[in-house]
Structure 1
Amino acid sequence: MATIPLEGIAMTSFGHVLKDIRAARGMSQASLALSLDSTQRHLSFLETGRSLPTSSFLARICRAMDLNIAQRVNLYEASGLANPYTRRDMESDEIHAALDMIEKRVLANWPFPALVLDPDWNVLRSNAVFDQIFGAFMPQGNEPANLLEVMMSEMFQGLVQNWDQAAGVMFYRLQRAATHSPRIAKVLQAAQSEGRFAGMEQHLGELGEIPIFLPIRIALPNGPVMELSSLLGKLASCQDALIEGLEIELMVPLDEPSEQAMRADG
């Protein structure tokens, strides 16, 4: 541990980042120090900039706090130490290869609609079943379609037979996503101001006992009614902040007629 003289000490960038992450986790200096088999004094020195971390201690912090890759990248870059996590560009060959792998190995083998979404809910990949069923409702162009903007449109909501019920499912998921995406936060705020979610609390109150699944019931024009939910996943062994931030959405039919309709369309 390198110690900096007291004169002129100011909280370092590393100290700011570490303190912010710790506070967001609701951890005290004492509890983090205990999990690191260190001392509160040592943590205080790191956060105020009086000390700088070694590579081995920084690796211990990442493990002890179970930081995601994006947080690790930020912490390493703030420390000034060699960063083992490459910050790749979305247009890089490596990222495209990773997306192609997910599309080929996951989406193509899922029998129902499936997507890969970035943190802003831009559709980066979709399977043939999704394109067959929902492709007509997605905007076309060079830029990726944004699933959230489609779902918040009057056109899409006109397809949802149980919007007030489905709105509650969407709202809380979007609220969580908005903490990581200013774009989602903006769209969500606009949708709230337009009254898109106005009926959800009353509807949930009328349900009495909440069922295990609250489906989204979609009636396609001149087509079947489908009751859907989704499985949301990430690759567990991912070591890239961009890929770790992606969400794989696998749509699930909740009854036999919905499954038959999806398989027939796919």
Structure 2
Amino acid sequence: MTTLTTPTGDRERTIDLNGDIGESFGVYRTGEDERLLDIVTSANVACGFHAGDPATMRRTVRLCAERGVAIGAHPGLPDLAGFGRREMAVTPQEAYDMTVYQVGALYGFVRAEGAVLRHVKPHGALYNMASADAALAEAIAEAVRRVDGSLALVGLAGGELVRAGERAGLRTVTEAFADRRYRPDGTLVPRREPGAFVADAGEAAAQVLRLAAEGRARTVCVHGDGPHAVAFAECVRRALLDAGWRLAPA
């Protein structure tokens, strides 16, 4: 079970470590969810469009509840073949509809397990598109607000999604990534470009400490489908604790 540390300072020294999980589908298994849930403080659970299925969603929500890990919905584009990482020409209305649909589906499993849904974080291409496109961001924020205005909206620090969430009156959580590299303007290097990924756990930990110290993130993500997800998460967690950060859901 995830163990939270004793605070070493004020709230400004508290940070969340999140992982994308529940991304298996049918007989196909992706990630090491149980091991990752012993490290992270929040989980973003796939809702069936880019990955996940009803049985996987139920099992994942139950695992989170058993370990005391905060549960979030991770809605994506309807793209199982591309794992939701290929851009699609969706309208704001379509983005709104698919967000309501997916958050609602996970919300049902969370309620059935006697747990609480705390946040929404779009997945993959939908996340990146909404970070740059104000209209898509507004649609997603409005979808979250209408489903449950108490839910937090997670988005890239400095991106349109966070701004849209703030305008909608939602609690917003700025996010940084441990295993992705950044451009000078603060956006992520696209996955298709060379050098988009951080391959060394030590480099990932150093990047997280820098971004946290700069105040650019209240939560840090480790992608659960990565080949070294558990090792990265362990290294980042240890580095944050050693640097005096308290780990807790955002």
TM-score range, shorter chain: under 0.3
Structure with the greater alpha carbon radius of gyration = 1
Which fold has the larger relative contact order, with Cα–Cα distance below 8 Å and residues 6 or more apart in sequence?
A: 2
